Amino acid sequence: MNVYDSARMADVLAPLGYGLVDEAAAADMIILNTCHIREKAAEKVYSDLGRVRQLKAAKEKTGGRMIVAVAGCVAQAEGAEILARAPFVDMVFGPQTYHRLPEMVARAHRSGDKVLDTDFPTEPKFDFLPGQASPARAAGAGAAFLTVQEGCDKFCTFCVVPYTRGAEYSRPVAGVVAEAERLAALGAREITLLGQNVNNYHGDGPGGGAWGLGRLIAEIAGIDGVERIRYTTSYPADMDDELIAAHRDVAKLMPFLHLPAQSGSDRVLKAMNRRHTADDYRRLAERLRRARPDIGLASDFIVGFPGETEADFADTLGLIDDVGFVQAYSFKYSPRPGTPAAAIADQIADPVKDERLALLQEKINVRQRAFNRDCVGRVMAVLFDRAGRAPGQLVGRSPYMQAVHADAPATALGTIRRLRVTAGLANSLAGELVADAAAGERGSA
Ligand code: SF4
């Protein structure tokens, strides 16, 4: 979502004459768009700011001017503290106010005032963002993000998002569809719909009444040029029948779903304030597979949540065995200041967390390697989205989000091509182009 927000900031700033530069030292403005999810997020931002301070000082020495801004969730959480600890920073603003960038820049320029804007405004920022996309967004080589929902009311006890991104908000359907059409016209073949709780999308429909995500996906699938649709990140308890049916009925919806389980222990899930049990998750996985038999499921797991016992951890490994994830992100629990879980007394010792994480990752890796190997010989539709390291090579994404390397002409960048998979490696695939027809088949072929 920060990638999307950064692109939208570029859209907002383009009419003021700002464009992207390759070297930070050459910039008239540097915006650090920060994420609060990672561990010690604030300290990392202050350390980055140390480097930015030197760039600003060097620019001023030659008579230039540089505006320094901190945006995003660390800005939201730290607020005025950033201006106190890093007085050379000109602007601090949270994820919900960047549509006000033109006035902030004007204030910073006009009076040299420090700008602090960490409101959760009543006006949705999307109403104020420009209709036109700046060249920054057009450069996405065939894939684009589109935020349809923001914020979260779930308050999982380990998570800062409800405090930094604010309450759940869904954009109206018309604005989302218009943006998807613009992205398709700019060359986006794949659109990933974003939201912290994207599957709880309930945007106002054109004829009144709220639309769910399944209906929105079907609408976007009707846009010329859009060949692939994904959505992330989903909350298991919010998967409704309409969305599951979309996996059956909408061929452009990719057969891959990131659906974070977090744990396989009901006791831990309860302590996390998740609203599903391990069996709920198993049933959900079955329903999704009935709707789309070739779907690949991915998850996030937190190991070493406060109070997690060996038996709890064994339940998580059991869930992994039962569901058969094709990919997972796994993390050691680490406390986030201000969240309820950080205050739980029964924190797990680091060596225990390390051991559990290694076991869990090995289990996931075995499965991921087997899945990649099973892809060998298959013909897949791959969206080439970047140049490879070797000359003449491009890298793309399979329907299952695997990185795929292949020799391909530069003209294939930003297009979907059919590839035969020739090797399944630990973290990627290798393939060769099949004929020259663009792939329009159902996802995984
Ligand atoms: S549902 Fe996701 S974003 Fe919301 S509190 Fe839980 S982990 Fe955080």
Report yes or no: 231 and 190 within 8 Å, Cβ to Cβ. no
Instruction: Say if ligand 1 is within 6 A of residue 235 CB.
Output: yes
Provide the strand spans (E) within 254-357.
256-258, 296-303, 327-332
Q: Phi and psi (nearest 5°) for 376?
A: -60, 130
Question: Higher model confidence: residue 142 or residue 39?
Answer: 142
Whether omega for the bond prior to residue 411 falls within 30 degrees of 0, making it cis, is no
Q: Which two tokens stand for residue 264?
A: 């396989």
With pLDDT > 90 as the criterion, what percentage of the chain qualifies?
A: 78
Least confident of 62-76, 126-140, 186-200, 368-382: 126-140
Bridge partners for 300 per DSSP: 329
Bridge partners for 174 per DSSP: none
Phi-psi sector, 177: left (phi>0), alpha (psi -120 to 50), beta: alpha
- Residue 441's pLDDT band, with cuts at 50, 70 and 90, is very low
Given this model, what pLDDT does residue 349 score?
Answer: 96
User: For residue 223, how far is its CA from the centre of ligand 1 (angstroms)?
Assistant: 31
pLDDT at position 138 over 70: no
**Residue 296 one-letter amino acid:** G
Given this model, what pLDDT does residue 442 score?
Answer: 42
User: Which of 271, 230, 224 shows the shortest CA–CA distance to 247?
Assistant: 230
User: For residue 72, how far is its CA from the centre of ligand 1 (angstroms)?
Assistant: 17
Report yes or no: 66 and 28 within 8 Å, Cβ to Cβ. yes
Secondary structure percentages of the chain, helix, strand, coil, to 5: 40, 20, 40
CA-nearest residue, atom 2 of ligand 1: 196
- Residue 444's pLDDT band, with cuts at 50, 70 and 90, is very low
pLDDT at position 188 over 80: yes
Q: 328 in helix, strand or coil?
A: strand
Report yes or no: 284 and 240 within 8 Å, Cβ to Cβ. no
Given this model, what pLDDT does residue 439 score?
Answer: 45
What does R_g of the chain's alpha carbons equal in angstroms? 23
- Residue 165's pLDDT band, with cuts at 50, 70 and 90, is confident
Report yes or no: 144 and 181 within 8 Å, Cβ to Cβ. no
Buried b (16+ CB within 10 A) or exposed e, 23-58: eeeebebbbbbbbbeeeebbeebbeebeebeebbee
Instruction: Say if ligand 1 is within 6 A of residue 196 CB.
Output: yes
Give mean pLDDT, residues 124-140: 64
Atom of ligand 1 nearest to the CA of 235: 1
User: For residue 274, how far is its CA from the centre of ligand 1 (angstroms)?
Assistant: 9
CA distances (Å), origin 211, targets 205, 242, 250, 277, 352: 6, 10, 16, 27, 45
**What count of other Cβ atoms lies within 10 Å of the Cβ of residue 208?**
6
194 vs 216: CA distance, rounded Å: 12
Test site for ligand 1: of 1, 2, 147, 152, most ligand atoms within 8 A of the Cβ: 152
CA-nearest residue, atom 6 of ligand 1: 156
Instruction: Say if ligand 1 is within 6 A of residue 96 CB.
Output: no
User: For residue 235, how far is its CA from the centre of ligand 1 (angstroms)?
Assistant: 8
Report yes or no: 229 and 250 within 8 Å, Cβ to Cβ. yes
Q: Would you state the torsion angle of the CA atoms of residues 256, 257, 260, 263, taken in this order, to the nearest 10 degrees?
A: -60
CA distances (Å), origin 425, targets 252, 337, 370, 372, 421: 26, 39, 9, 6, 11
Name the pairing type of β-strands 67-71 and 149-150. unpaired
Q: What's the full length of the chain, in residues?
A: 445
402, with CB counted inside 10 A (0-12, 13-18, 19+), is buried
Given this model, what pLDDT does residue 137 score?
Answer: 58
Q: 61 in helix, strand or coil?
A: helix
Given this model, what pLDDT does residue 41 score?
Answer: 84
**Residue 380 one-letter amino acid:** M
User: For residue 224, how far is its CA from the centre of ligand 1 (angstroms)?
Assistant: 33
Instruction: Say if ligand 1 is within 6 A of residue 189 CB.
Output: no
Sheet holding 143-147, edge to edge: 143-147, 190-194, 228-232
- Residue 140's pLDDT band, with cuts at 50, 70 and 90, is low
pLDDT at position 354 over 80: yes
Convert the pLDDT of each residue in 47-82 to its tens digit: 999 999 999 999 999 999 999 999 999 999 889 999
Given this model, what pLDDT does residue 438 score?
Answer: 47
Kindly report the three-state secondary structure assignment for every residue of 202-226: CEECCCCCEECHHHHHHHHHCCCCC
DSSP string, 98-152: GGGHHHHHHHHHHH---EEE----SS-GGGTS-SSPPHHHHTSTTEEEEE-EE--
Mean of the per-residue pLDDT values for the chain? 92
**Residue 154 one-letter amino acid:** K
User: Which of 321, 315, 418 shows the shortest CA–CA distance to 370?
Assistant: 321
Dihedral (CA of 81, 85, 87, 90) sign = negative
